[in-house]
Structure formats: C-alpha cells, structure tokens
Amino acid sequence: MKSRTYEIMEKAKPKDIASLIFDWSLMLLITLNVLSIVLESFASVALAYKEFFIVFETTSVIIFTLEYMLRLWTSDLKYPNKYKMVSLLTFAFSTMAIIDLLSILPFYIPLATPIDFRILRVLRLTRILRILKIGRYSESLALIGRVLKRSRSDLLVTLFITFLLLLLSSSLMYFVENPAQSDKFPNIVSSAWWTIITLTTVGYGDVYPITILGKILGGFIALLGIGLVALPTGIISSGFMEEIRIKQLKEGRESQVCPHCKLAISEDWE
C-alpha cells in the first residue's frame, strides 16, 4: 500500500490512470486556489461569497495537509536510507516540501495562537505559493529549476558584481547630489533607489540628478545598466540551450558531435 501510494503521488508514468487522475486533480485544485485568491481581492466578490471561500479554503487545506502527511509517510521511498528519520528530514527540508508546508501553515497558525490581523493578512498571502506545487508535474517549471541550478555559480558572480556596482554608484551619487538635493539623496541607502531604477533602465523620474557632474555620472551608470541587464539574461539563455541539448541527447535525437566545439549536432540542423 505504501509503495502504491508513493507511485500515485509521484509524477504519473504512462498508463498509470490512478496517478494521472491524482496529478490532474491536484493541479486543478491548485489552479482553483489561485483563482480564489485573485477573486477574494475584489471586496464585492469576497463579501458576497464569503462562506463559499471559507468552505473552499478549509477543504483545500485538508486535502493539501493529507497530501503533505502522505508524502512524509512515503519519504523513505523517495530518499532511501536505512534510517527512516534521515529520509523524513531530507524530504522535510527539500524545496517542494517547504513549499507544501508554507501553503498550509497560514491556515493553522491563527488556530494555534492569537495573532495580529495585519500579520495574518501577510501570512494569508503565502497561499499564492500553492501555484509552485505545480512544479512537481510541470516540465516547464522543472526545466527552469534545472537551468537556475546549473547556472547558479555564474548567476552568483553576476549578483556580486551587481551589488558592488550598486554600492559604488549609490555612494558616488550621494556625495555628488547631496549638497544640491539633500531631500532626494539624504543618504547612500536612499540613493540606492535612484541607482536601482537607473541600472534596470526603468527610470521612473521621481528622483534624478540636477548637477552637471551628477548628470554625467548618471549617464555613465545608465550605460552600465544596459550591460548589467544583458549579463544574467545571456547566462540563463545559455543554460536553456544546454538543457535542451542534454534532453535531446537523452532522447537520442542527436547523432554526432562537432569536432571543434564538442557540442552535439542535431540531425535536422543544417
């Protein structure tokens, strides 16, 4: 029974009708939950269908809780280990298990302890994380996860460079513009807002330099922002191409390797 339960809850294999029904039912429930969260943001709809939303939320949480408990029960099959507690903890601290827990925890916290209404509203927003549960069954989300994992070292380097550029630009702009606009650039942290919207090429226009030196510096930072945005984009694009190539190799759709660059060449490429 435990083995069959694990098979049903995992991504369905071909011709496993029970697992397919489970997967599609869960994806439908997750989609409906996200839709209900959106509809609840309309005050008139939330007021008119308040009881329905409460019943639907309670039912959903019960189903998601049962799913979470069953996954804990079958964790030793997903993470085989001679010590069941190790398997249990390995699953409990996995990304998907944490998402599962966060999707149901806001429902139980107010029942266990009194909590401020404002904090409760913030906690209820975590229900939107339920859409990430689809990652178990969506090849697209799984592909994104693999790409980010494969490119994490390069992305971390890019993030570090971005932080250094942000800190340097904010500091320079603070020292240049503070004497002329002490209200707009009161400190380096506040100056970072201008740097962020400039480096990302958004440019809201609520804060901008007015001194000659500040405008020159601002133009230079804006030009750096073009390359800064392109850098992680190129890394992620390269990661996607690599993942697609690996998938094609596994499926046997590529037959030869270029002797110069060592990349696999697809039969249908010219």
DSSP assignments along 84-130, one per residue: HHHHHHHHHTSHHHHHHHHHHHHHHHHHHS---HHHHHHHHHGGGGG
The segment with the largest mean pLDDT, out of 7-16, 28-37, 97-106, is 28-37
pLDDT digits (tens, 9 = 90+) for 155-171: 888 888 888 888 999 99
CATH code, 2-137: 1.20.120.350
Query: In a 3-state reduction of DSSP, which class is residue 228?
Result: helix
pLDDT in tens, 112-141: 776 655 565 666 666 777 777 776 766 777
Q: What is the pTM of this model?
A: 0.64
Would you give the end-to-end CA distance of the chain in angstroms?
Answer: 52
Residue 266 has pLDDT above 70, yes or no: no
Determine the Cα–Cα distance for residues 191 and 270; give it in Å rounded to an integer: 51
Q: In angstroms, rounded to a whole number, what is the distance separating the alpha carbons of residues 96 and 86?
A: 17
Q: What is the pLDDT of residue 4?
A: 87
Residue scoring higher pLDDT (184 or 247): 184
Percent of the chain with pLDDT over 90: 12
Indicate if the pLDDT at residue 225 is higher than 70. yes
The residue behind tokens 């500091």 is 171
pLDDT at position 63, please? 92
Task: For residues 52-62, give the mean pLDDT.
Answer: 91
Q: Which CATH number fits domain 152-266: 2.30.110.10, 1.10.600.10, 3.30.70.2190, 1.10.287.70?
A: 1.10.287.70
What pLDDT is recorded for position 62? 93
- Sort 1 into a burial class: Cβ within 10 Å, 0-12 / 13-18 / 19+: exposed
pLDDT at 268: 45
Domain ranges, ordered by start, for the chain: 2-137, 152-266
Dump pLDDT digits (tens) for 73-119: 988 888 887 788 888 888 889 888 888 888 888 788 777 776 655 56
**pLDDT at res. 96:** 83
